[in-house]
Structure 1
């Protein structure tokens, strides 16, 4: 079974494919079918709305079912600046720079470093026929540690393991990743299990 994913981020696609441990399912970028230059408008008020808008955009272009995700970092100490606006908050598109921008928020402050990483997925067959799932992970922001994963993985520590996501094996990281957990849930719905 092939599932078209509304992303051209190869790191995200690889993480998703490895995280499901199912060789019968192939996750491919929409770029396999079309080099769409436009980007969807993510003007929703919730992660679900943004994922739905993204899925709707690519589904309408490709005339095939599409899986889209949205999510963000929610910082207890700074609830107004990230969340739905996570990607728009950053000055740089480089993940290492983005991590430094987050760490800079906590310089010279003793505020809570608690963070919730959220993911919402929408699988859209047509405009009124869709499946959705969501998951979240609570951790804390720490200085970068570890070399695995991508994105924010090196600065999000899971207190129960005393490790950042970037210090975990692929198997461990898949167990904690909200995107992977939401993906596993939605795949069960897609397959009708």
Structure 2
């Protein structure tokens, strides 16, 4: 997993509350058994004017010109501004997969659904909770200023505007450690690889019959 230290970039404002995971990545795309390929269908129902289905050639689909991510000024955005209760609904991990593959590494909102919030950290994304009045201010500035950028400093736990104004946010120390060091669940396990091998060698000597039919 790619480490998250300091991220700077254009912010895109998704100005609607209670965005659920089915809106983030609709259910018809969950048939894929891969962890990739979901970015092109992020916010599919909002992004395109026709009905999407798995295996479709998205380059030929009509885009919704009113949807924020289809506007030229937000094409390279890597920070998503959202409203309260972002990521509610089903627990599908495909939602952060789709956001991440599209290019978002940070989502800023007044509140998140718990399971989505947890899934973000497991997939190298940072969900930042800021007070609603601060998020309102960021939305206003983002809409008023083309190319509006923010800097997210995870080590310092700060959201920094281009004018230098800073907003502190809270993050669990363990989750922060994992993001800063690019550690997902597999990476965490591999940190103990020597101890695991040592334990397995010990067990092989104590209970060799357990390993008789196992090919390593």
TM-score range, shorter chain: under 0.3
Q: TM-score, normalised by structure 1?
A: 0.25
Please tell me whether Structure 1 or Structure 2 has the larger radius of gyration of its CA atoms: 2
More strand by share: 1
For CA contacts below 8 A with separation 6 or more, give which structure has more relative contact order. 2
